[in-house]
Amino acid sequence: MAEKTIREIAKLCADCGTCQSACPVYQAELTEPNSPRGKVNLAKALADGRLAPNSRNRRLLYQCLVCGGCEHACPQGVEFTRMMIEQRNRAAAGRRIPWLKKFALFFYQGFILRRVLWLPRLLARTPLKRRLSLPAFQKAELKKIVGRDHDREYDILLFPGCVFTYFYPQRTIDIKALLEKQGFRVLYPPGLQCCGFPYLSQGWGDKFAALKKKNEAVFRKFHFNRIVVPCSTGVLAFRKYYELPGIEVFELGDFMFRHCRDAAIDPGFVNCFQGPFTYHDPCHNLKSLKLQKEARHFLGQFGGRFRDDESALCCGFGGIFKVGFPSTAKKILNRKSAKLDELGAAAVVTSCPGCYMQLKENLDVPVYFFSDVFKKQ
């Protein structure tokens, strides 16, 4: 850890417990070791050598979505995410990645999908469908939108992320078209890899470093000065853990709000369902990037058809969290689902590919991505 040690971060904790109400895992399990405060105290004890690492405390370290909720709520400024990532990297050092997590990471990042297109169809008939939130396989020719002009000056490099590249490729095509419609020259380059955050947050820093190196090599081949990512986790990875001098990184909604505030919404969007729709705030959007008004600027234009959900409840996806802790993830999703029922939401819009997949594949109401609310032509 470059700037601060685990001990320095953890000692800021005043044991006040303010973070508990912001923590989806604590709210689901209601046990102190599963609260952010419990995890800070665990990190302190491990760092001081008062506790030796064992399977129980290692499991507790991983029973966290790294959603940033506690950090957002903490009056003491405890850098929980940074501390947790460092702690996990120490815990994982020299250990093998468990096969199920390895499989899930490979799967979500499409390493398997690229080669074996029949696999998702087969898995969709097994209990893994719910466990992995498997979507139906979507056919879309991403090759057609790949840009290879190394001499051209682009305004934006579009980094769609793994979920939109491999599971919902049409979303990538739509987002590129949306940005081009606003007058930008958009590059979707070949050779992009996962941003690496799922590896970093699990403690596998060497895998993260390898992916980062490959992405930076792709970036160096082209001329652009902005990266737009329809995923705040990717934005965090680029802003905090990559070296990208002279390049600004934006989450899609943030970019639309700052640069295309007058972009036309599609009034016909609300004809796809009956009743009000709401917005699901992805944790990293709200709690880490502090994006709250950006998407609402556009969604509010649907007037009474938009019913705001101010609960900030998590969806329970958390990258591969739901693979390791399916029962906790289900409890978290159930709270979200109950909130949607209470609001009478007939549809949900969100702006994180992971939340989109989790909600779309598990809820009974239609789920849309933020870019769907804009006019296509």
Residue list 30-49, contact with ligand SF4 (CB under 6 A): 36-37, 39-40
Q: What phi and psi, each to the nearest 5 degrees, are found at residue 354?
A: -65, -45
Q: How far apart are CA 255 and CA 76, in angstroms?
A: 30
Residue list 267-326, contact with ligand SF4 (CB under 6 A): none
Q: Closest Cα to residue 323, out of 280, 357, 360?
A: 357
Does residue 333 belong to the site contacting ligand SF4 (CB under 6 A)?
no
Does residue 70 belong to the site contacting ligand SF4 (CB under 6 A)?
yes
11 versus 296: smaller Cβ distance to ligand SF4: 11
165 versus 328: smaller Cβ distance to ligand SF4: 328
If one counts every other C-beta atom within 10 angstroms of the C-beta of residue 64, the result is 26
Q: Which residues of 323-349 are buried (b: 16+ CB within 10 A; e: fewer)?
A: bbbeebbbbbbebbbebbeebebbbbb
Name the one range near ligand SF4 by CB under 6 A: 19-27, 121-129, 253-261, 305-313: 19-27
Could you tell me the two tokens for 254?
């943030």
How far the first Cα of the chain sits from its last, in Å, is 48
Could you tell me the two tokens for 303?
């007037």
Name the one range near ligand SF4 by CB under 6 A: 8-16, 141-149, 209-217, 288-296: 8-16
80 versus 356: smaller Cβ distance to ligand SF4: 80
Which one among 1, 4, 11, 18 touches ligand SF4, defined by CB under 6 A?
Answer: 18
Could you give the angle at the alpha carbon of 73 between the alpha carbons of 72 and 74, nearest 5°?
100
Does residue 24 belong to the site contacting ligand SF4 (CB under 6 A)?
yes
Q: Give me the numbers of helices (H) and strands (E) for the chain, helices first please.
A: 20, 7
Name the one range near ligand SF4 by CB under 6 A: 76-84, 167-175, 245-253, 265-273: 76-84
107 versus 325: smaller Cβ distance to ligand SF4: 325
User: Is the distance from CB of 240 to CB of 289 less than 8 angstroms?
Assistant: no
27 versus 172: smaller Cβ distance to ligand SF4: 27
Q: Strand pairing of 226-229 and 186-187?
A: unpaired
| Complete DSSP assignment for 90-138 | HHHTT-PPPHHHHHHHHHHTTTTTTT-THHHHHHTTSTHHHHHTPPPP-
Does residue 108 belong to the site contacting ligand SF4 (CB under 6 A)?
no
- Give the x/- contact pattern for ligand SF4 in 248-277, rule: CB under 6 A: ------------------------------
Output the CA–CA distances (angstroms, integers) from residue 182 to 173, 224, 300, in the order listed. 15, 17, 20
Name the one range near ligand SF4 by CB under 6 A: 61-69, 94-102, 113-121, 249-257: 61-69
User: Is the distance from CB of 377 to CB of 302 less than 8 angstroms?
Assistant: no
Which one among 6, 9, 47, 74 touches ligand SF4, defined by CB under 6 A?
Answer: 74
Name the one range near ligand SF4 by CB under 6 A: 12-20, 135-143, 231-239, 335-343: 12-20
85 versus 227: smaller Cβ distance to ligand SF4: 85
Dihedral through CA 120, CA 125, CA 129, CA 134, nearest 10? 30
Could you tell me the two tokens for 283?
């944790």
161 versus 318: smaller Cβ distance to ligand SF4: 318
Does residue 78 belong to the site contacting ligand SF4 (CB under 6 A)?
yes
User: Is the distance from CB of 81 to CB of 68 less than 8 angstroms?
Assistant: yes
85 versus 367: smaller Cβ distance to ligand SF4: 85
Name the one range near ligand SF4 by CB under 6 A: 52-60, 68-76, 323-331, 352-360: 68-76
Which one among 9, 29, 79, 80 touches ligand SF4, defined by CB under 6 A?
Answer: 80
Does residue 13 belong to the site contacting ligand SF4 (CB under 6 A)?
yes
Does residue 352 belong to the site contacting ligand SF4 (CB under 6 A)?
no
- Judged by the rule CB under 6 A, the positions of this chain that interact with ligand SF4 are 13-19, 22-25, 36-37, 39-40, 64-70, 73-74, 76, 78, 80
